[in-house]
């Protein structure tokens, strides 16, 4: 006659399966953080494209995307006055400043530009190409991961990539 019950091996296998399920389910318990990251990347990509478009329409004074040193955001400025943010289009008088977690980007709290990921501004020439050598990559992060916004040097085209 055999004994009924679980062996130590049975219990260890069951615990391993539960631990594996917990690890795979845990990140999906906060989908908001992932959506914030995608939203922030989309906003940044759109603003980079706007800077390119503004430069093409006014090639004498390039529009530049300048990142804050603390990684908390960025702003758009003219090449002739890189310390002064430009006004947003539409006549509202609002400055083209994006601070994650504040103002129009208040829903993007917890997102930042990865330290050391990009120190120089993104500037376009009169033909829409990025000024300087090579493609540019801006890495955004939250507590759950990172996402990259890539800008091609030759064409100025912008793509969002999940590394």
Q: How many independent structural domains does the chain possess?
A: 1
DSSP state of 143: T
16 found inside a domain: no
57 found inside a domain: yes
- The tokens for 77 are 């400025």
What are the CA-CA distances from residue 133 to residues 13, 71, 122, 146, 162 (Å)? 54, 23, 11, 24, 23
126 found inside a domain: yes
Q: How confident is the model at residue 39 (pLDDT cuts 50, 70, 90)?
A: very high
7 found inside a domain: no
φ, ψ dihedrals at 111, nearest 5° = -100, 145
- The tokens for 110 are 């917890």
Span of 14-18, 21-25, 46-50, 136-140 with lowest mean pLDDT: 21-25
Could you tell me the residue range of the domain that residue 91 belongs to?
31-161
100 found inside a domain: yes
pLDDT of residue 26: 54
pLDDT of residue 65: 95
Query: For all residues of the chain together, what is the average pLDDT?
Result: 86
pLDDT tens profile 73-91:
999 999 999 999 999 988 8
Of residues 34 and 119, more confidence is placed in 34
> What is the CATH number for 155?
3.55.40.10
Q: How confident is the model at residue 3 (pLDDT cuts 50, 70, 90)?
A: low
Of residues 161 and 22, more confidence is placed in 161
13 found inside a domain: no
114 found inside a domain: yes
21 found inside a domain: no
For residue 117, is pLDDT > 70?
Answer: no
Give this prediction's pTM: 0.79
């Amino acid at each position: 006659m055999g004994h009924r019950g679980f062996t130590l091996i049975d219990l260890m296998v069951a615990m391993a399966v539960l631990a594996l399920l917990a690890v795979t389910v845990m990140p999906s318990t906060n989908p908001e953080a992932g959506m914030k990251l995608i939203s922030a990347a989309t906003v940044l990509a759109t603003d980079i494209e706007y800077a390119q478009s503004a430069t093409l329409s006014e090639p004498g004074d390039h529009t530049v995307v300048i990142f804050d040193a603390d990684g908390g955001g960025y702003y758009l400025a003219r090449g002739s006055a890189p310390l002064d943010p430009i006004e947003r289009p539409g006549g509202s008088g609002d400055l083209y400043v994006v601070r994650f977690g504040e103002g129009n980007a208040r829903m993007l709290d917890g997102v930042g530009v990865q330290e050391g990921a990009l120190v120089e501004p993104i500037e376009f020439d009169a033909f829409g190409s990025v000024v300087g050598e090579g493609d540019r990559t801006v890495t955004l992060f939250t507590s759950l991961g990172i996402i990259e916004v890539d800008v091609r040097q030759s064409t100025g085209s912008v793509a969002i990539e999940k590394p």
